[in-house]
Structure 1
Amino acid sequence: MAAYHDHEWGVPVHNSRRLWEMLMLEGFQAGLSWAIILKRRATFRAAFAEWDPAKVAAFGADDIERLMADPGIIRARSKIEATIGNAKIYLAMQAADEDFAEWAWRLAGGAPRRGDGLHVPAKTAESETISKALKARGFKFVGPVIVYAWMQAVGMVNDHAQECFRRDAV
């Protein structure tokens, strides 16, 4: 967790595929701890074709059963099926010349927002807006709490504590 905090959490990400991967992982984390997801991140990458949306979108019933039998990931059928559907939506955005990163960052205000360093909310008006926009496109497992955790992880919001050495670094 310390390495993740010190090198990844809160660093602005502008790569569409990486943003999509992190959003999918946040969805798998729902109801669990982020530590569980981090421990399984490499297995998730292997199981989900290195998070290649085109490959994930092509997953069928056999792939779902393969994933359901994989003890290295979170074996929740609804989350697996949502990830496949979310890959299809991601690809539809690409096909319409919509860049996922540009779209998401525009909804987030275009630049990282800095929290007060004292209080970390579970969700914000911005995460509710992004959640609604994702759901309107058909994305699943993208409620405002999941979206806010994603926004923190990918640097759309800097919620490092005031005394944290990373607060000014990101």
Structure 2
Amino acid sequence: MTPTDTDASSCPRCAWAQGDPLMQAYHDTEWGVPQHDPRMLWEMLMLEGFQAGLSWITILRKREAFRAAFTHFDPVRVAAFDERDVERLMGDAGIVRARAKIEATINGARIYCAMQDQGEDFARFCWGFTDGKPVLGDGRTLPASTPLSETISKELKRRGFKFVGPTITYAWMQAVGIVDDHSLACFRR
């Protein structure tokens, strides 16, 4: 369900998505929608890592620049990035220029590709923690992390991913619909 253009501003939605048209569009069409495309799951995990210490709206406003800079988050192409690419990205004012996060994204692409080479589908890996079904939040609270995000975070870290602490992992779980944390009054619940 998506509100029409005429009632989009008055539609009941999660409080965090009120007031900014970009956040509203993201909330209304993407946040909490179960995502099963492995590449998109990886892209969102990388973007959530870039968000660490920043607001999501900052990343959302830069998302197209991130996509251009990281070859549309094609893991095979990003995995081949070298030090020249790191320097190129450090000079790109359109993205968050944090060397550790850039290097973590390149490393994350290599991990993604290694999983794929070993026959492990990233989407099955991600959804395997919930038996392929979204977890429904209580609709009243937005926790920073949960025991499930701690478990997934530990496994991501064990595999070598960076910027995947329990809080970042939980935000990613919400974004890709592994968790449905829309408020009770929200039209998306």
TM-score range, shorter chain: over 0.9
**Can you give the 5+ residue segments of structure 1 that lack an aligned partner in the other structure?**
none
Alpha-carbon deviations, 1:4-61, whole Å to 9, x = none? 0000000000000000000000000000000000100000000000100011011011
Alpha-carbon deviations, 1:131-163, whole Å to 9, x = none? 000011111111000000000000001100000
Which structure shows the higher helix fraction?
Answer: 1
Matching residue within 145, 149, 155 for 1:133: 155
Task: Provide the residue aligned with 1:159 in structure 2.
Answer: 181
Distance in 2 separating the partners of 1:86 and 1:55: 12
Instruction: Establish whether residue 105 from structure 1 lines up as the match of residue 130 from structure 2.
Output: no
Matching residue within 50, 53, 60 for 2:82: 60
Report percent identity of matched pairs.
Answer: 66
Task: Provide the residue aligned with 1:50 in structure 2.
Answer: 72
Q: How many residues align?
A: 167
When the two chains are superposed, the root-mean-square deviation of aligned CA atoms in Å is 0.6
**Can you give the 5+ residue segments of structure 2 that lack an aligned partner in the other structure?**
1-22
Runs of 4+ that moved beyond 3 A = none
Task: Provide the residue aligned with 2:49 in structure 1.
Answer: 27
Distance in 2 separating the partners of 1:156 and 1:111: 7
Matched AA of 2:72: E
Q: How far does residue 2 in structure 1 lie from its aligned partner after superposition? A: 0.4
